């Protein structure tokens, strides 16, 4: 399993509130997660940073555990981070309302488990076809599912950046979990909305399919910057 990641603050943001964490444990479990923080000048980076730190700590505590329950470890880490971020925001008015998305995967043998809260995304490229695995927790996604707007209208809707679920906004949160079996050559993309809002799916698919593996995140970010990305941009790519 190969893993590579990169993040950039984009053209207009003064700082980067995105974070990512990725690695391979001694027991063979691979992981990659992207977190996109929100909540004022300071809160977003605190929330996403705390989440990624707790996720990494919890996973590496299981480093040599061959009987590791991967899904439980990840969900416990998210729950712990959610509670910590929420209570920290209640104590410090400068952090009030902070929260963060999280999207990512764990891979054990050929089993890939996908986790999602918010509007960061996970895609899988297989045989040149890029498939979106996660579903956004957002206002526009709800409107689309209700038939109130079209898929084309989602990208220009005035509420397109409003999410309906995040880590730390409340003391607990539900995590969407799905599973798929990987095939050799599959490439997984975990991305913040700074990438997916500014790079078309077809463009992402071409870069994922045709680029040298370790150059993919940089090329994806470069494409977003060429499209005048106004948000932080993060991509983690894994290849089975």
Whether 214 is in a domain gets the answer yes
pLDDT band, very low/low/confident/very high, at 7 (cuts 50, 70, 90) = very high
Model confidence band, residue 42 (pLDDT cutoffs 50, 70, 90): confident
CATH number of the domain that residue 186 is part of: 3.60.40.10
> Is 188's pLDDT higher than 90?
yes
| Domain total of the chain | 1
194-238 confidence digits (pLDDT tens): 999 999 999 999 999 999 999 999 999 999 999 999 899 999 999
> How many C-beta neighbours within 10 Å does residue 84 have?
18
Question: How would residue 149 be classed by pLDDT, with cut points 50, 70 and 90?
Answer: confident
Strand partners, 70: none
Residue range(s) defining the domain that contains residue 224: 2-129+166-239
Strand, helix or coil for residue 106 = strand
Domain presence at residue 160: no
Model confidence, pTM: 0.93
pLDDT above 80: residue 122: yes
Q: What is the mean pLDDT of the chain?
A: 94
Asked if residue 85 belongs to a domain, the reply is yes
% of the chain residues with pLDDT over 90: 84
Digit-coded pLDDT (tens) for 58-77 = 999 999 999 999 999 999 99
Query: Does any domain span residue 200?
Result: yes
Examine residue 185 and state whether it is found in any structural domain, yes or no: yes
Nearest CA to 174 out of 186, 166, 184 is that of 166
């Amino acid at each position: 399993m190969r893993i590579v990641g990169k993040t950039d603050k984009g053209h207009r943001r003064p700082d980067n509130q995105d974070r990512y964490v990725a690695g391979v444990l001694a027991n063979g479990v691979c992981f990659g997660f992207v977190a996109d923080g929100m909540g004022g000048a300071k809160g977003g980076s605190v929330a996403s940073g705390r989440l990624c730190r707790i996720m990494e700590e919890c996973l590496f505590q299981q480093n040599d555990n061959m009987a590791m329950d991967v899904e439980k470890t990840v969900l416990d880490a998210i729950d712990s981070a959610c509670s910590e971020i929420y209570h920290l925001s209640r104590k410090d008015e400068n952090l009030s309302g902070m929260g963060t998305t999280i999207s990512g995967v764990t891979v054990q043998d050929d089993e890939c488990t996908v986790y999602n809260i918010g509007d960061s995304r996970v895609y899988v490229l297989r045989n040149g076809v890029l498939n979106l695995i996660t579903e956004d927790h957002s206002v526009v996604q709800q409107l689309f599912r209700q038939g109130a707007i079209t898929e084309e209208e989602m990208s220009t809707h005035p509420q397109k950046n409003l999410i309906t679920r995040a880590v730390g906004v409340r003391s607990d949160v539900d995590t969407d979990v799905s599973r798929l079996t990987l095939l050799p050559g599959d490439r997984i993309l975990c991305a913040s909305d700074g990438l997916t809002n500014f790079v078309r799916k077809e463009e992402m698919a071409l870069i994922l399919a045709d680029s040298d593996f370790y150059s993919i995140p940089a090329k994806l970010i470069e494409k977003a910057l060429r499209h005048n990305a106004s948000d932080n941009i993060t991509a983690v790519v894994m290849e089975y």
